[in-house]
Amino acid sequence: MLLKELSSFASPLSQGQVEKLKQLTSELSTVQLAWVSGYLSATAEQGASQTGDEAAPAQTLTILYASQTGNGKGVANELANEARAQGYAVNLSSMGEYKVRQLKQETVLLVVVSTHGEGEAPDDAIELHKFLASKRAPSLAHLHYSVLALGDSSYEFFCQTGKDFDERLAGLGATAIQPLVECDVDYEASAQLWQSAVLQAVKPLIEIRGASVVSISPSANINESQFTKQKPYAAELLVSQKLTGRDADRDVRHVEIDLGESGLIYRAGDALGVWFSNSVDLVDEILVKLSLDGESQVTLGKDSLSLRQALIEKKELTQLYPGLVKGWAELSGDAELLNIAADKKMTRQCILNNQVADLILQYPASISSEQLLELLRPITPRLYSIASSQLEVESEVHLTVALVEDDRGGVTRFGGASQFLAQAKEGLAINVYVESNNHFRLPENPDIPVIMIGPGTGVAPFRAFMQERAAQGAGGDSWLFFGNPHFEQDFLYQTEWQQSLKEGFLTRIDLAFSRDQAHKIYVQDRIIEQGEELWKWLEAGAHLYICGDGERMAKDVHQALLDVTVKFGGKTATEAEDFLAQLRSDKRYQKDVY
């Protein structure tokens, strides 16, 4: 109660520090609180006696992070731990929990941020990103900063959000203590070098106060698991069952995994990170085409293993990136590929339409084992939206996985992780970890209505939502928009939705099977058709969710929502954009797109 009252007054603490203080005090008994109060009082008095009552407060190293997949949070946590170990007072915070008005009080700021979609800021960063570009942004002439940008060079707008932050901070007068560092998916080494450089650079800027500084660590969250991306849990595969019919265009699997005694906890809306191995057949094809001996010994970091094993377990073979296209073009000397590598747009198309084996086939080159391994990026885990609630399935976790399958010149190519899960046998050990997604959550009040838009495998988290609402006995209405090519072949979890309707936890469902009639119908068409009723739900406070393809579906659905807002909300086009933007800011419009 006291903390709640105090938070209503102007505070010298940032919002992140207030939250950490609340977290610590909530775990203490009355006796422990009294002891801490006395300790802090004595510490303050000691500081005053040493430096005088008018002494300036200890400077704090503020670290802000934002990412969609958790990489940014991991890097920021490592940086904060190292900074504390060196004696700095640290304020570590997600951008989503940071009060933007606090920025003008900062003196040293380190930013770790990823880029989402087509150069967009991740959800956590949206508010701060907009603030820095607005007229409300203050002069930051007193601020020293550095930015670490995380991204994937196979996408067009590589590290764009990090570039935006760097440009806008500089434009407001802040001084960079280290230049912007852009990291690709194999970011660990670059991030480590940046960490060392910035902690060295802040030494003249922040006095190290050592033990006299009281630091409340955010890592004391009892819900954080010991299993992470770097240290995953070896879970057991229980089921990999085909959901689609025999004549379906796609092979979609329902996958069940046993988390055993891991203690892994997830919430509806979270994702599961899955480490995978490459197909043995694909690896053998590459070895044969390159005339390389798979049993020859190679060294990767500290590991010595066979080339074949390295390609199966360590290297990315199903996704290209610009550096690989450029490197292969130089090795092959092929004029066509050299021309592609010199053009960003053509390189992007090459990446989307080819795998490593396709490059080898189309543009032959002589290459050594060492050169090949140097060109290939490390395998990175894939994230899948969790399709279950622990309130329902307890120690299990369920996924909805579409097998990525393309015909390329008479050769079938598969996605690395999806093929791994589709072909996995019962009992196989799979390395997994939970990736929290606090920007895709059911309302805390179960009586608030929800609208869920999830065609194809985008329906996965909404299965989790419905299990959660059923387990809670939620009173709020629920509306699902689902679409796929064919009713008979592709109606994922059909019997479960029918059961949810019967029991009343799912209030209504609108379906769009695009190829069951001459005129194609998609979920955005159903949204337009039901626009008047959908607007009534929004006016009644409904939360809106979209999950699935971000390239086309999410954009088309967003436009449909704008059209509904204009037609039934009586708003102009600009007002409709502002309305949806406010819904996002209020966390009533949430997206999980890929």
Q: Name the pLDDT band for 27 (thresholds 50, 70, 90).
A: low
Of the candidates 223, 247, 571, 149, the residue with the CA atom closest to the CA atom of residue 390: 223
Give pLDDT, residue 33: 52
pLDDT averaged over every residue in the chain: 89
List pLDDT tens digits, range 254-301: 999 999 999 999 999 999 999 999 999 999 999 999 999 999 999 998
Give pLDDT, residue 408: 86
The rounded distance, in Å, linking the Cα atoms of 377 and 152 is 11
List pLDDT tens digits, range 288-305: 999 999 999 999 988 999
DSSP 8: T
Sign of CA dihedral 349, 351, 353, 354: positive
The structure's pTM equals: 0.84
List pLDDT tens digits, range 214-238: 333 343 343 456 899 989 999 999 9
Q: Name the pLDDT band for 347 (thresholds 50, 70, 90).
A: very high
List pLDDT tens digits, range 51-92: 333 333 347 899 999 987 788 999 999 999 999 999 999 999
145 φ, ψ to 5°?
-150, 170
Higher pLDDT, 225 or 103: 103
Higher pLDDT, 537 or 8: 537
- Please give the domain boundaries of the chain with CATH numbers for all domains: 13-220 (3.40.50.360), 233-276+381-435 (2.40.30.10), 280-375 (1.20.990.10), 450-593 (3.40.50.80)
Find the mean pLDDT for residues 345-363.
95
Give pLDDT, residue 216: 36
Give pLDDT, residue 57: 39
The rounded distance, in Å, linking the Cα atoms of 79 and 556 is 40
Antiparallel, parallel or unpaired: β 144-150 and 175-176: parallel
Give pLDDT, residue 37: 57
DSSP 507-570: -EEEEEETTSSSS---HHHHHHHTHHHHHHHHHTT-EEEEEE-TTTHHHHHHHHHHHHHHHHH-
Give pLDDT, residue 51: 38
> Is 211's pLDDT higher than 60?
no
Q: Name the pLDDT band for 7 (thresholds 50, 70, 90).
A: very low
Q: Name the pLDDT band for 112 (thresholds 50, 70, 90).
A: very high
Find the mean pLDDT for residues 23-39.
51
